[in-house]
């Protein structure tokens, strides 16, 4: 049966194993088999090696760095594909060319092509399963190849070494800020985490490293990676990291000399869904209510909480905040809340993922007993808006699942 809408397409793709939606207890070749995925791509006819990729791994800032590099290359006249994950509102938003998302019709055409290939090849019956993210990666590769992009900027989904994007043939590899995350999967030490992140390094391809904690930088320098390693200047890791990538590409004559004025302008104007995404609106049917401000930010690590707090303090000096928070079970929740400094503010906990996430009640009991609890994300958002005072800003954070569900509801004008 042909798939005719995005909802059905997502349901089909997620009928394959989706590691976004389950608690994964093992991260190795038994679950992430790149040899199998390469064979799948070859059999399907996707010549992914033909893409000139810029491959971006890291714990924080991957999406911002990748988007900034892609936007600059686009403005300099190149045709640039950008692949980011996870999506926040629509599945198509993570696959774009020159800032324009893949169309629904085109996306459905690729999904139906994959479905026919999988049905005809008997992969499911033979137990040679592909995953949801691998299928999404295959669609991205085919779209960028069909569109003949000049560059493909690819954000790693998880880790790096075993990520499906790691089959690419890059002209540059990039490591953004590294911190402890997904520790049960990637390892509980920085050395083990780096083993996975640095798995994207390819022979003969330079590695550009954004500013790191001193001991992380020392660990990277101690390794014999066998490639030229370029350390970006100290400063905003996203700005300096993206700039170092472009300078390196220019130095190797892939692009013309860096236009620093244009780059700075693009940096200051860059806006990404769910990343310090400021929305001003009134609830429907509430004409007497003043306009309220909501910040959506998918921060979920300790460093990203620290960065978010700095942006809140500089962006809204003198304001108080109400925090609506949901978090996954594999996150360092206590440290996240400490860095975000929520304890002098009103906090509402909620649930945004039934299997991977804490319930709101669990968050309250374990981490902040003075918080309020509303288990349904939309109910929690509605409640947070109602208690918001004119001098307060609502901050929705802790999980991309939470941010995405509320932004999708806003798109449907449910508030």
92 and 165 in a single domain? The answer is: yes
Structure token pair of residue 107: 């996306």
**Residues 232, 367 within the same domain:** no
Global pTM reads 0.91
Number of domains in the chain: 2
The 3-state DSSP composition of the chain as helix, strand, coil percent (nearest 5) reads: 45, 15, 40
The enclosing domain of 233 has a CATH number of 3.40.1190.10
Same-domain status, 221 and 121: yes
Between residues 353 and 324, which one has the greater pLDDT? 324
Domain extent, residue 207, equals 6-269
Are 259 and 296 in a shared domain? no
Looking at the domain assignment, is residue 249 inside a domain?
A: yes
111 and 197 share one domain: yes
**Which pLDDT score, from 0 to 100, does residue 119 have?**
93
Element (H, E) at 213: none
pLDDT band at residue 175 using 50, 70 and 90 as cut-offs: very high
Domain finish residue from 241, 269, 297 = 269
Q: Are residues 104 and 230 in the same domain?
A: yes
- Say how far apart CA 189 and CA 179 lie, in whole Å: 9
* DSSP-assigned letters across all residues of 241-265: HHHHHHHHHHHTTSSPSP-HHHHHH
Asked if residue 304 and residue 218 are part of one domain, the reply reads no
Q: For residue 124, name the pLDDT band (cuts at 50, 70, 90).
A: confident
Residue 185 banded pLDDT, cuts 50, 70, 90:
low
Residue 33 confidence (pLDDT):
85
Q: Which residues pair with 275 in a beta bridge?
A: 272
- Confidence at residue 337, expressed as pLDDT on a 0 to 100 scale: 97
Please give the mean pLDDT across all residues of the chain: 92
Indicate whether 37 pLDDT > 80: yes
Question: Which pLDDT tens digit goes with each residue over 247-276?
Answer: 999 999 999 999 999 999 999 999 999 999
What CATH number does residue 317 fall under? 3.90.190.20
- Average confidence (pLDDT) over 29-37: 80
- pLDDT tens digits, 90-117: 999 999 999 999 999 999 999 999 999 9
Question: CA–CA separation, 132 vs 118, rounded Å?
Answer: 13
Q: Is residue 179 predicted with pLDDT exceeding 70?
A: yes
Residue 68 has pLDDT above 70, yes or no: yes
Boundary of a domain, candidates 224, 246, 269: 269
401 and 323 within one domain: yes
Q: Do residues 298 and 221 both lie within one domain? A: no
Pair (262, 357) in one structural domain: no
Whether 197 and 306 map to the same domain: the answer is: no
CA–CA gap between residue 331 and residue 184 (Å, rounded)? 10
**Residue 1, domain member (yes or no):** no
Q: Inform me whether the pLDDT recorded for 291 exceeds 90.
A: no
Q: Which of 269, 294, 309 is the last residue of a domain?
A: 269
Q: Is pLDDT at 286 greater than 70 in this prediction?
A: no
């Amino acid at each position: 049966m042909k798939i005719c809408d995005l909802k059905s397409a997502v349901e089909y793709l997620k009928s394959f194993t989706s590691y976004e939606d389950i608690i994964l207890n093992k991260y190795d070749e038994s679950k992430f088999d790149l040899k199998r995925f390469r064979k799948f791509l070859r059999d399907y006819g996707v010549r992914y090696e033909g893409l000139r990729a810029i491959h971006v791994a890291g714990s924080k800032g991957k999406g911002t760095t990748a988007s900034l590099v892609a936007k600059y290359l686009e403005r300099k006249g190149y045709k640039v594909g950008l692949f980011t994950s996870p999506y926040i509102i629509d599945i198509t938003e993570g696959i774009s060319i020159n800032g324009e998302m893949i169309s629904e019709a085109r996306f459905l055409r690729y999904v139906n092509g994959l479905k026919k290939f999988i049905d005809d090849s008997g992969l499911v019956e033979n137990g040679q399963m592909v995953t949801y993210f691998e299928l999404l990666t295959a669609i991205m590769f085919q779209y960028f190849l069909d569109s003949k992009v000049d560059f493909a900027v690819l954000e790693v989904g998880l880790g790096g070494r075993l990520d499906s994007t790691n089959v690419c043939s890059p002209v540059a590899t990039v490591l953004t800020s590294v911190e402890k995350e997904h520790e049960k999967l990637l390892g509980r030490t920085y050395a083990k985490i780096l083993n996975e992140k640095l798995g994207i390094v390819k022979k003969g391809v330079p590695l550009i490293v954004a500013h790191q904690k001193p001991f992380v930088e020392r660990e990277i320098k101690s390794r014999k990676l066998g490639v030229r390693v370029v350390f970006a200047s100290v400063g905003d890791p996203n700005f300096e990291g993206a700039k170092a990538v472009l300078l390196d590409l220019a130095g190797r004559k892939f692009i013309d000399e860096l236009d620093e004025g244009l780059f700075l302008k693009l940096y200051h104007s860059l806006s990404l869904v769910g990343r310090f995404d400021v929305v001003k609106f009134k609830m429907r049917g509430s004409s007497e209510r003043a306009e309220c401000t909501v910040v959506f930010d998918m921060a979920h690590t300790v460093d990203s909480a620290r960065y978010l707090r700095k942006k809140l303090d500089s962006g809204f000096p003198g304001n108080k905040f109400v925090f609506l928070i949901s978090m996954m079970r594999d996150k360092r929740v206590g440290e996240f809340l400490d860095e975000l400094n929520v304890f002098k503010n009103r906090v509402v906990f909620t649930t945004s993922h039934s299997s991977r996430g804490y319930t709101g009640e669990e968050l309250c009991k374990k981490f902040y007993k003075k918080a309020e609890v509303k288990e349904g994300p939309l109910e929690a958002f509605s409640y947070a808006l109602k208690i918001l005072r004119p001098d307060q800003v609502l901050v929705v954070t802790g999980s991309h699942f939470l941010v995405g569900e509320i932004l999708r509801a806003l798109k449907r004008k449910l508030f």
